Structure 1
Amino acid sequence: MAGHRSGNRLAALDGLRLLAALTVVFYHYVALAKPWGHSTASIFPTAHRFAQYGWLGVEFFFLISGFVICMSVWGRTVGEFAVSRVSRLFPAYWAGLLLTVAVVKLWPEFTSIHGWDTVITNLTMLQGGNNTPDVDPVYWTLFFEIKFYLIMTVVMFFGVTYRNCLILCGVWTAAAALAPVLNTPVITAFAMPQYAPFFIAGVAFYLMRRHRPNAVLWGIVGLQLLLAQRYIDYRLATNLGKATIGTVPTWPARLIIIASFAVIAAIALGALDKIQWKWLTHAGALTYPLYLIHMNIGMTLIHHYRGRLPAPLLVVCVTALMLVVAWLIHRFVERPLGLWLRNTMRRGIADVRQQVAPRRKHASPLPQGLPQTLIPHQLHVPTPRNPEPARTELG
């Protein structure tokens, strides 16, 4: 569907992406003690209370990703989807990775990199699958995104339809709910029980936008909202330490998750379509490179200058610098290299098709008179409300 790819961007999603990234930055710079040398509760007595929940920006990213990737695969072939993802993810990633390596090698006072084999493996973005350390800890989310892309690729082989997306939501929900009991590594790895509710809810929200909301879709979203509560204690312990269990209240995290679902619901229902400020599109473009570079580089700067500038001013300056560097990566690396990769991969796919086409012409025809396959019962598919919904990209 050509209209799918030519529609206007959802500006509200761009703004929400940047908000999610800044929330993660806020958490790393204000809530974590490591770059400051001691607990930040005494440095930022008020801000620390809010920053300790900033890790939820990652869950919000996954929720947005479910919506956006479901939008992206609709009407595309597997090859087209692969081209869009590779050209979108790798240029900024390579730039952020090499810049992080350079900063950490020059100023190894905050963290270090163990061996060049780690750096080389990280260039593939597949280090999460073979127990290779991430050059920057934030890269862990990229491997979860890649697994989500593989799941959506399976759906593409069967056809991206309303019915098949509903089947995906049901099968994935069951797998994620049963994974802790089944204790099967492969199922657990791909079901991603801690984060599946956000991806699945995002898919359901996009189905609402494309096909109108109904009781089935609201039921899926409601179920995911309940399942998302299951791992809040686990995520708190992962991000703030096991000592925080029972001491840090969980109700703010629950409210943030509910608010995240509510905002994406508003987008799904078209309530935020009137927001078309052009600056949001430019702001959204900074999200991915900002996320990639802010942690090890930013924390190194905070660690180095923590005794020379007031803490609030230092956080503001480092954040501003990271935004500027993110823009430079987007403008001078991500855009030109992404365009080159996209065009190169498309030419490669076109060449493969030209080589395969002649073989198909000479293939033996199928025997005549074969019985038709039974057509499975089709779910009722609502008439699309938005035949040309806006497409956006998520890093």
Structure 2
Amino acid sequence: MTTAPAPPTLPRTTGAPVPVVPSRGAGPTRLRALDGLRLLAALMVAAYHYGGRDGEIGDAWGSSPAYQFPTASGFFAYGCLGVQIFFVISGFVICMSGWGRPLRAFFASRVSRLFPAYWAAVILVTVVFALPWVAYEAVSPTDALTNLTMLQMPLGVDRVLGVCWTLWAEMRFYALFALCVVLPGATRGRVALFCAGWTLAAVVAEAADNSVLDIVLMPEYAPFFIGGIGFYLIHRYGSRDTAGWAIVVVSWLLGQHYAVSRLWHPADLPDAFSYRPSLGIVAVITLGYLMIAAIALGKLRWANWRWLTVAGALTYPFYLIHEHLGWVAVHLLHQDLGLPAAATFPLVLVAMLALAWCLYRFVERPLTPRLKRAIMR
């Protein structure tokens, strides 16, 4: 099979539309199916936060979500695996957008895409939680300011956004990829070596039980980022790319292990809200891999609807704001206004998507190019 032409290196982050890439034998097209899959993963996480776990959302509902959704809550509990699917997509897209790009441009694209919506979300949630009629406690002013750096996790500072722990994982992945691939220049061999080296180092870090190695190498998340990179090699060099498939298979084997070991518990565990059978966890991870494989191989090229690009643009701001502001919206609609849970759930999702569109339209679109130009200067 002949080598596919290299894709244009356009900016890309978790919340921006997928870059334009060439389709074999056709003109430029977008991987719009990847946009749709990203939004699906975000909705999975939202379903988990609203109906698949207990905690603050239980206070918002007035009782455990297991009581509000006696049947659906068991399915919602699998929504947390949307994060692992996010990480695989991130590996694919970061490898795509970083290929052939100088380090300064790579850094500028990451910062300019991630921070505007993030800053707006931190400020918005802080202000809402500080309102006297909102039942949830806001973080201290100093912690809120520290959150603007996106470095609150390593500093042990209270988080404004519950989902920001995933951004800390993304930042470490970006740093590793930038130093090992973008800085020396991306080649097929160098990318494959990076995947093999990171896989081995992450396994060693797990065995060593060293906190510094765990922070740098992220053993439980590394397989998913690495799997996404393997999928991009398959997308770029064709279905016969042996190295790409080897990377994907090893990442799936290790990824399902970490997902089960971190998210499974016995069915009779006292005080456990949800029970996810290990086979169910493996099945969800496998389905995510299969869907990304279909995209990488061009099998979902027919899913080329323009609204998927909009869906991809909404994903990142929706992901940032849905959890904490969702608590407030659920409490307002369900307890204050008396709407049933079956109506409250979709209304909150729609409201969070609408707010995400506002952040995209009035924050990301005007600020992202300005911030990028400032960094490049």
Smaller-chain TM-score bracket:
0.7 to 0.9
- Return the match for 1:123 from 127, 143, 148: 148
The structure 2 residue matched to 1:202, chosen from 217, 220, 228, is: 228
Count the aligned residue pairs.
346
The code of the aligned residue for 1:221 comes to V
Q: Secondary structure at the match of 2:8?
A: helix
2:149 equivalent to 1:149: no
* 2:297 alignment counterpart: 269
Query: Quick check: 1:38 aligned with 2:43?
Result: no
Q: Report if aligned partners of 2:52, 2:73 keep a CA contact under 8 Å in 1.
A: yes
**What is the deviation of 1:248?**
3.4
Deviation at 1:252, TM superposition (A): 1.4
Q: Confirm or deny: 8 A CA contact 1:27 1:52 kept in the other structure.
A: yes
In 2, distance between residues paired with 1:3 and 1:151? 22
Give yes or no for the alignment of 1:232 onto 2:259.
yes
Contact 1:95 1:333 in 2 (8 A): yes
Deviating more after overlay: 262-271 vs 324-333: 262-271
Among 242, 257, 265, the alignment partner of 1:215 is 242
Hey, what does 1:18 align to over in structure 2? 39
Bigger RCO (CA 8 Å, 6+ sep): 1
**Distance in 1 between the 2:135 and 2:278 partners?**
30
Evaluate the alpha carbon distance shift between residue 235 and residue 304 of structure 1 in structure 2; reply closer, same or farther with a 3 A threshold: farther
The change in CA–CA distance for 1:33 and 1:71 in structure 2 (over 3 A counts) is: same
2:351 aligns with 321
Q: Shift of residue 109 of structure 1?
A: 4.8
TM-score by length of 2: 0.87
Task: Tell whether the 8 Å contact from 2:52 to 2:274 is kept in structure 1 after alignment.
Answer: no
Q: Which position in structure 2 is the counterpart of 1:351? A: none
Note the C-alpha offset of 1:107: 5.2
- CA pair 220-119 structure 1, distance change in 2 beyond 3 A: same
Q: Distance in 2 between matches of 1:162 and 1:300?
A: 48
**For the Cα contact (< 8 Å) 2:317–2:356, is it kept in 1?**
yes
The answer for the alignment partner of 1:182 in structure 2 is: 208
Q: CA deviation at 1:322?
A: 0.5
Stretches of structure 2 lacking an aligned partner (at least 5 in a row): 1-5, 11-19, 22-28
Secondary structure, aligned partner of 1:286 = helix
> Which letter does structure 2 place at the counterpart of 1:33?
D
SS of residue paired to 2:348:
helix
TM-score (norm 1): 0.83
Identity %: 44
CA separation of 1:286 and 1:107: change in aligned 2, threshold 3 A: farther
SS at match of 2:301: coil
Does residue 258 of the first structure (1) align with residue 286 of the second (2)?
yes
1:4 positional shift: 3.7
The residue number in structure 2 matching 1:84 is 109
Does 1:286 find its partner at 2:286? no
Alpha-carbon separation, structure 1, partners of 2:128 and 2:273: 35
Measure how far apart 1:37 and its partner are. 3.6
Query: Alpha-carbon deviation of 1:294?
Result: 0.5
| Distance 1:187-1:11 versus aligned 2 partners, 3 A rule | same
- Deviation, 1:115, is 1.2
Distance in 1 separating the partners of 2:163 and 2:76: 17
